[in-house]
Every structure is written in C-alpha cells, then in structure tokens.
Homo-oligomer: A and B are copies of this chain.
Amino acid sequence: MTNNIKPNCPMGATICILSGKWKLFILSQLLEGVKRFSQLQTAMPGITQRMLTKQLRELEELNIISRKVYPVVPPKVEYALTEVGQSLKPVLQVLEDWGKFYINIQK
C-alpha cells in the first residue's frame, strides 16, 4: 500500500497509513462513534463492499480501528477507533479544515 516509502520517516509512516482512496473517509465516520458495516456503507455511497472490507482490514492491522463480531444471526459487526485511532482526531480535523479553506479560496 504505497509501499517502499521509508516507514521510519514520520511523514512516510503517515502517508502509508492514510493513503488509499477511502481511509480518511472511513476514519472521519468512525470519529462520530462506533459504526456497523452497513452504516459505513450507506454513509459512503460510491464505495463497494470489497473496498470497504479491504480498507477496514488494513486499518485493523495497523491498530487504528477495532473490529467486534457479535455471534448472532443475522451477523453484526461493529467497528470503532482504537486509542491510536483516536489520536488521529486532531489530524483529521486539520485536514478537513484545510479542505474547507482551499475550496473557499478556489471560487
């Protein structure tokens, strides 16, 4: 995933983690609280199940989000930010703020 970037470089690590077309969207969704798979899906029209699954797995492996499966029928899976994920909050906030700023000056 945007590989062979020096992972020991701070900027490189951040790039590795946040790159991918949907990661930032997913994270900003989860900032609002725990969400189910289907909730995430409807919140982001345009993403496919395949992609959502993949990105969630990647974020899980990076210890950014947690995945809780309820052994019920029909299946229920909840995603939430880990502590590390929570630490991304100010980062996401800054990114979004700058986006607003950029859109404004562009018109």
Contact = CB atoms under 8 A, between A and B. Distances in A.
Interface of A: 2, 4-5, 7-15, 17-19, 21, 24-25, 28, 46, 84, 87-88, 90-92, 94-103, 105
A98 B103 CA distance: 25
A22 to B, nearest CB: 9
A14 B90 contact: no
A10 B87 contact: no
A87 B101 contact: yes
20 contacts: A5-B21, A9-B99, A10-B98, A10-B99, A10-B103, A11-B92, A11-B96, A11-B99, A12-B99, A13-B99, A13-B102, A14-B24, A14-B95, A15-B21, A17-B102, A19-B19, A84-B105, A91-B94, A91-B95, A91-B98
